[in-house]
Structure 1
Amino acid sequence: MALNLIKLCVGCDSVEDLEEWIAFRLDERRRAGEPVEQWHTTRMVPSRTAELVDGGSLYWVIKAQVQCRQRLLDIRPFVDADGIGRCHLVLDPKVERTQWQPRRAFQGWRYLKQADAPADLGRGGSGLMEMPPKLRQELAELGLL
């Protein structure tokens, strides 16, 4: 069974912000002639790599709510210029929206079992995607989403 990671999406106020940031970074890499792939750098290297890349995802917490996920494609450990071990979490650039799930702030990333992960929203069922992001946030804060 696939294993997931969960992490705070610092600096983004919405899923749309995250998608814009991803598109910007991919375009930068394309213009620079670098491989066009998206990754997130983290200091701690997951020890359960095989489980994570076997269908796992990185779930993003935005404004105290799990709101979306990206499929994990690879985990690449490396040592930075300061001699500190880090890794790139290589991600599918496609962002899948999920049901909202409240989460308190935490540092770094955590493992997330598939049974505890929020379900994908799917296509056209609930109408949540048609709502403005600010309205979705307000409804979530009231516990209505």
Structure 2
Amino acid sequence: MRATMSVFLLGLLFGAGLVISGMTQPAKVVNFLNIAGSWDASLAFVMGGAMGVNLIATRLMPRFNAPIFGGAFALPTRTDIDPRLVGGAALFGVGWGLGGFCPGPALVSVVGGASEALIFVGAMLGGMALFHLADTTVLAPAKPAVEAGKA
């Protein structure tokens, strides 16, 4: 119960931070990304603050064996940069620039009743489903026709 409550409260804090910073306003995000036009640099400070918090948390994490409220740390194990990572990052950036939303702010905006966010989240879920379908069929590594030891 304690872990669930902490996750809920941290989610509320994160959502409030997204609203206060303006990340839930697509026009503000698009103006941040529009360097040649009416550039709004204020989101750079939001990102800088997030990077600072992450830097401190990452440095403190090794002092703990596990998260304070249970479970285990979920740290990435891969360090290589492959085409899937680059393609995913490019797709994320294009979606962010065209829609003015990324997943977190879009979900917060849906809760706030923003219809354009609901359209974005629907498209995002559709894209996730299409990727899952492609990943399990087209992009999946070819499996050998005969399993080892059964020939």
What TM-score results when the alignment is normalised by the length of structure 1?
A: 0.26
Which one has the bigger helix percentage?
A: 2
Structure with more of its chain in strand, by fraction: 1
Q: TM-score, normalised by structure 2?
A: 0.25
Q: Which has the higher contact order (CA 8 A, sep 6+)?
A: 1
Give the greater-gyration-radius structure (CA): 2
